[in-house]
Amino acid sequence: MITLDAIETFTLIVGLLTLTPGLDTALILRTAALGQRRRAWGVVLGIQSGTLVWGTLTALGVTALLTASHLAYNTLRWSGAAYLVWMGGRMLWATWRRSATESPQAAGAGDTTAARTGPETEARRGVGDTLLGGWQQGIVTNLLNPKIGAFYVAVLPQFIPAGASHVALGVLLAGVHILLAVVWACALIGFAHVLRDRLQRPSARLYLNRITGTVIAAFGIRLALGQ
């Protein structure tokens, strides 16, 4: 049976991984900052659903086959990279298009501009404040990142004793990772809620989308380059 020391060590490793700013943090913060709290929680649940899948597949030995197969790993890596670059590029294109079409008069019309750039605008684009929509975005982003699978292949087996149930302990350890990630997501969403008034300003939304789009696209490029 797994020891308490092993669980504590694993918790420390995945805790540091969770706190490291990255794609998940950017995606959750951006969604929550736009006032889409249901969608933000959907993103959280989607990401953690993907984590559970990776943990279970690793315990079953499936992800070891993925990392051992150069073709399978690269296929998933390029798919994930294309998806991230597309997602980030779409955010950036939307901000550039708005900047190009917005007149000085419109830029100074605070409430009117805010109305055009609020949740209603995103809803018309098919990006509504729905739990399911956020879940789909979160799980696709997570599952198309083969490095999460590679991380679990490298780390998880070290904490599963010989003769123990790999599936049960794999799910248990993935659950520890998920619990820490959900707690961190609560802090991120709470932080965005506290700053909601400032973040709801049109200029803040514009810069937030640009920063998030750049971060997501950069992660996609890094994934494509294998860095």
Res 175 pLDDT > 50:
yes
Go through the chain and tell me how many residues it has: 227
Structure tokens belonging to residue 38? 């249901």
Mean predicted confidence (pLDDT) in 150-161: 83
| Cα–Cα distance, 154 to 171 (Å, whole number) | 16
pLDDT digits (tens, 9 = 90+) for 15-55: 998 988 888 888 998 899 888 889 999 999 999 999 999 99
With a CB cutoff of 8 Å and minimum separation 6, the contacts of 4 are: none
Please calculate the CA angle 208-113-118 and round it to the nearest 5 degrees: 55
- How high is the pLDDT of residue 101? 64
Q: Which residues of 82-91 are buried (b: 16+ CB within 10 A; e: fewer)?
A: ebbbebbeeb
pTM for the predicted model, two decimal places = 0.77
Task: Output the CA–CA distances (angstroms, integers) from residue 101 to 19, 34, 54, 59, in the order listed.
Answer: 38, 21, 43, 52
pLDDT digits (tens, 9 = 90+) for 97-136: 766 665 444 444 444 444 444 444 444 444 567 899 999 9
- How high is the pLDDT of residue 102? 57
